[in-house]
Amino acid sequence: MSKTIYILNGPNLNLLGKRQPEIYGHDTLDDVARNCAAVAAEFGLETDLRQSNHEGEIIDWIHEAREKAAAIVINPAAYTHTSVAILDALNTFEGPVIEVHISQVHKREPFRHHSYVSHRSDAVMAGFGIGGYALAVRHLGLTLGG
Ligand code: DQA
């Protein structure tokens, strides 16, 4: 079985640390990658963190994950609320899927309250800041084994 967890990030998250820090904090996606890799290593797992501003690229990575990943952690960003195509792609993946939102989306505008991706997600983290990613990886480490 693959030992890699794909950590996929949607649009604008390349600007994490610079983008609306009052909502998303000052840490960057590189910090997320480092934190997740350290937690995964505790369980003998690896992480592969990617970010794209393009829906189709994220879908291609989910298809790739079917062959190469044990689990997916995904923050689809704004595509959370719009993308049936990402939901359909996730429905082709057989391993665990954890949805992460840095902010507590349910406290925010009503259009952020609905997630297409949640129709597939096995667990959802929202409002833990970037810590949500590492918590998701820890849960996968504990449940997938190392
Ligand atoms: C987000 C929340 C989404 O509503 C928003 O579009 C994002 C980031 C989060 O991590 O809190 O870009 O997914």
pLDDT digits (tens, 9 = 90+) for 2-46: 899 999 999 999 999 999 999 999 999 999 999 999 999 999 999
Query: Quick check: 97 and 75 in contact, CB under 8 A?
Result: no
pTM here is: 0.97
What domain count does the chain have? 1
- Domain hosting residue 67, numbered range: 4-143
Q: How far apart are CA 80 and CA 92, in angstroms?
A: 17
Is 24 an annotated catalytic residue?
A: yes
DSSP run (H or E) holding 4:
strand 4-9
CA of 1 to the centre of ligand 1 (A): 31
Q: How far apart are CA 79 and CA 7, in angstroms?
A: 15
CATH number at residue 60: 3.40.50.9100
For residue 146, pLDDT beyond 60: no
For residue 145, pLDDT beyond 80: no
Is 6 an annotated catalytic residue?
A: no
In short, whether 105's Cβ falls inside 6 Å of ligand 1 is: yes
